[in-house]
Amino acid sequence: MDNVQTNFKTLLHVISKSPLLKHLAVVNVSLFNICKCDDSTIAELFQCLPVVESLFLSIWVIMCLVEDGIPRELPISLVHLKYFYLEHMCFVDDYGLPFLALLIRCSPNLEKLKLQVIHKSTYMQSKIDSVCLEDYSDISLEHLNELEIRNCRNLKPELEFVKLILAKSPMLKKVTISLNNRVAKDEEMEMLRILFCFPQASSVQISVRRPI
């Protein structure tokens, strides 16, 4: 789905009629594209995707489904999910990291994770510094072999997330980080130095790319 205005009841109805759906993309949306006028939940969305293998979502979709916050666990498992792409990921809001941890916990066979990051100017440095990834130390990515992060700005939460993934992914082979155009050359070099100092559970190739 791309630039479609609908509500979740209709969206879930369409998806539920396709029990063999293996690929779903609901991206390039905003809170204005998807209207929440019912009590749909994340669990209901995932229950409609029993055999999904690749999933592309915008964080705005998730925000509309969790008015009371992100649950820690779900009563379902996306055992077939191999590739997950999250658009509009923000590391310092109340949705990004909690949802990502939730998705990882219920996707034991995830092989590729891709994030497109946004940065909100309303967050102060104190908010960035307060993000703690120790709360996610229980996650495990036994089959992850590729991580890609786009629009990275070399902020503490972003680097700490990469550190967590490196430590929790024994099959990880490739990490690609595409930088935001505001990142200076000296920041890029410092970022590389930090990344290569992180403990790694596997032999992994780390590359940092500047915007073209």
- Domain harbouring 164, CATH code: 3.80.10
Is residue 91 situated within a structural domain? Answer: yes
Q: Transcribe 146-179 into DSSP letters.
A: EEEEEEE---HHHHHHHHHHHHH-TT--EEEEEE
Name the amino acid, one letter, at 60.
Answer: W
Tell me if 1 is assigned to some domain: no
Domain span holding position 19:
6-209
Picking from 66, 131, 61, 72, the residue whose alpha carbon sits closest to that of residue 104 is 72
Is the residue at 56 inside a domain? yes
User: What is the rounded CA–CA span in Å between residue 56 and residue 181?
Assistant: 24
Looking at the domain assignment, is residue 144 inside a domain? yes
Q: Is residue 174 part of a domain?
A: yes
Q: Which residue has the tokens 């209709």?
A: 10
Distance, in Å, from the CA atom of 58 to the CA atom of 176, rounded to the nearest integer, reads: 20
Does residue 114 belong to any structural domain of this protein? yes
**Model confidence, pTM:** 0.90
* Site of tokens 């009563």: 75
CA distance 134 to 136: 5
- Quick check: is 110 in a domain? yes
Query: Does 154 map to a domain?
Result: yes
**What's the total number of domains in the chain?**
1
Contact 84, 113 (CB under 8 A): yes
pLDDT tens digits in sequence order for the chain, 212 residues long: 555 566 677 778 888 888 899 999 987 655 444 555 567 788 888 999 999 999 999 888 888 777 667 888 888 899 999 999 999 999 888 888 999 999 999 999 999 999 999 987 666 565 666 677 877 888 989 999 999 999 998 888 899 999 999 999 999 999 999 999 989 989 999 999 999 999 999 999 999 998 76
